[in-house]
Amino acid sequence: MPLVVDALMGGLNALKEYIALHVLTCLIPAFLLAGGIITFISRETILGYLGAAARKLSSFGIAAGGSFFVAACSCTVIPVASGIYHGGAGIGAAFIILWVAPAANILALIYTGQIIGAHMVLARIISALLMSLAVGLVMAYSFHREEKNRVSTIQMRGGPLMDKKGVALLLLLVAWLLAPSYLVTQGPYWQKVVVWAVGLVIVALYSGKVINREKTKDWLRESWWFVRVIFPLLLAGVFVVGIIGALLPSSWVAAWLGGAGLRQSFLATMIGAITYFATMTEAPFVHTLMNLGMGKGPALALLLTGPGISLPNWLAVARVFGVKKALVYVPTIIVLGTLVGWIGGFILD
């Protein structure tokens, strides 16, 4: 009985710590930013550039950079990667999108920064990009013979890449997002709320005066969609994380995942590689483990492979791209994740 009570209390405390304190100053601006990215940046144009790019490095760069903007919702990653691959894009580019989109998802990055800290987010972004380069090269090299005579017929789809006023709004949103944390480094929570409120007014005024009504409605609708779909999942995920945090013994975590060793990094990578993490839930999970004794290196590995791949994802990749490609991709991620965790552990500590 007391165990159940502990578990439930753990869940509720987690909800308080990870949600209640962050809804206003972090989550609302984050969802508005995600909605804005979908509305004001033409994803079709990015994919068009990607399909038209000559095979190797330029397509890798576009794929990696574009991934930040193309798939904010995890359910569309596989159709996008599959679509461009079967339309003729290079295998490296397709798998880079498959990897970067979930590993460096914009909402997850924001939340990670908020909960764990800027240094971890920076490490996560840099690692995801370095790993993507490695993934692209490994896939392209492993299948270079068949890549040689594939032809891309993806046409440049219409429209400009971005709308200037929209991009200004996005930058404003990013500033609004970062302001409470950076302007109020030491001080009570209410001061952050004040900064947030001022930011909200500025954003509202700007969008009211500069952005046209239709686009504003689209933007708000997309953002509301994130709130409706992702927020409940986040609540559920955080609750479960709280339960796990209450039940998991700290000694176990410190023994198996503490420090910066290769073994710990590998274990963290494997946990992340197999388990499915819904958008944003990896951040509170990793933070809880860090509080229980997990080292920064293994934490970094888990932040990447947790959302990046999962067992259901392995099967989907095998079904869509073929077993051979999945058998190259998944172990590559696991090896890279382990290395990143190990090396990152040294750098971060």
Partner 1 sequence: MNIEVCGMGCPKCQATEKNALQAIKELGMKLGEEVTVIEVKDVKQISARGVLITPAVVIDGMKVCEGRIPSAAEVKKWIKTKK
Partner 2 sequence: MADRCACEASEVLLFPCSGGSNCGQIANQAAVQLTGDNVVRICCLAGIGAHESVMLDTARAAKRVVAIDGCQVACARKTMEHAGIPVTDWVCVTKAGIVKAHEFELAPGEITLISQLVRESLARPIEERQRLI
Q: Which residues bind partner 2 (CB under 8 A)?
A: 85-89, 145-153, 155
Q: In degrees rounded to 5, what are phi and psi of residue 280?
A: 75, -15
Q: In terms of CB distance, is 78 or 268 closer to partner 1?
A: 78
Among 41, 84, 195, 246, binds partner 1 (CB under 8 A): 84
- Mind spelling out the 3-state secondary structure of the chain? CHHHHHHHHHHHHHHHHHHHCCHHHHHHHHHHHHHHHHHHECHHHHHHHHHHCCCCHHHHHHHHHHHHHHCCCHHHHHHHHHHHHHCCCCHHHHHHHHHHHHHCCHHHHHHHHHHCCHHHHHHHHHHHHHHHHHHHHHHHHHCHHHHHCCCCCCCCCCCCCECHHHHHHHHHHHHHHHHHHHHCCCCCHHHHHHHHHHHHHHHHHHHHHHCCHHHHHHHHHHHHHHHHHHHHHHHHHHHHHHHHHHHCCHHHHHHHHCCCCHHHHHHHHHHHHHCCCCCCCHHHHHHHHHHCCCCHHHHHHHHHHHHHCCHHHHHHHHHHHCHHHHHHHHHHHHHHHHHHHHHHHHHHC
Q: 41 - beta bridge partners?
A: 162
Minimum CB separation of residue 61 from partner 1 in Å reads 19
Q: In terms of CB distance, is 256 or 314 closer to partner 1?
A: 314
Residue 197 touching partner 1 (CB under 8 A) = no
Cα R_g (the chain), whole angstroms: 21
The interface partner of residue 324, options being partner 2, partner 1, none and the CB cut-off 5 to 8 Å by kind, is: none
Whether 56 and 90 have beta carbons less than 8 Å apart is answered as yes
CA separation for the pair 49, 45 (Å, rounded): 6
The interface partner of residue 229, options being partner 2, partner 1, none and the CB cut-off 5 to 8 Å by kind, is: partner 1
The interface partner of residue 122, options being partner 1, partner 2, none and the CB cut-off 5 to 8 Å by kind, is: none
Minimum CB separation of residue 85 from partner 2 in Å reads 7
Residue 349 touching partner 1 (CB under 8 A) = no
Q: In terms of CB distance, is 90 or 199 closer to partner 2?
A: 90
Give Cα 209 to chain centroid, integer Å: 32
Minimum CB separation of residue 110 from partner 2 in Å reads 35
Residue 231 touching partner 1 (CB under 8 A) = no
The interface partner of residue 14, options being partner 2, partner 1, none and the CB cut-off 5 to 8 Å by kind, is: none
Q: Which two tokens stand for residue 210?
A: 């500069």
Minimum CB separation of residue 157 from partner 2 in Å reads 13
The interface partner of residue 203, options being partner 2, partner 1, none and the CB cut-off 5 to 8 Å by kind, is: none
Among 228, 249, 263, 347, binds partner 1 (CB under 8 A): 228
Stretch that binds partner 1, among 109-117, 144-152, 217-225, 265-273 (CB under 8 A): 217-225
Minimum CB separation of residue 103 from partner 1 in Å reads 19
CA separation for the pair 31, 63 (Å, rounded): 23
Q: In terms of CB distance, is 79 or 331 closer to partner 1?
A: 79
Residue 75 touching partner 1 (CB under 8 A) = yes
Residue 80 touching partner 1 (CB under 8 A) = yes
The interface partner of residue 263, options being partner 1, partner 2, none and the CB cut-off 5 to 8 Å by kind, is: none
Q: In terms of CB distance, is 4 or 54 closer to partner 2?
A: 54
Q: Which residue has the tokens 């330029």?
A: 58
Give Cα 227 to chain centroid, integer Å: 16
Among 21, 58, 87, 250, binds partner 1 (CB under 8 A): 87
Residue 43 touching partner 1 (CB under 8 A) = yes
The interface partner of residue 185, options being partner 1, partner 2, none and the CB cut-off 5 to 8 Å by kind, is: none
Number of CB atoms found within 10 A of residue 194's CB? 14
- Name the residues that contact partner 1, by CB under 8 A: 38, 43-44, 47, 70-71, 73, 75-76, 78-80, 82-84, 86-87, 218, 222, 225, 228-229, 316, 319-320
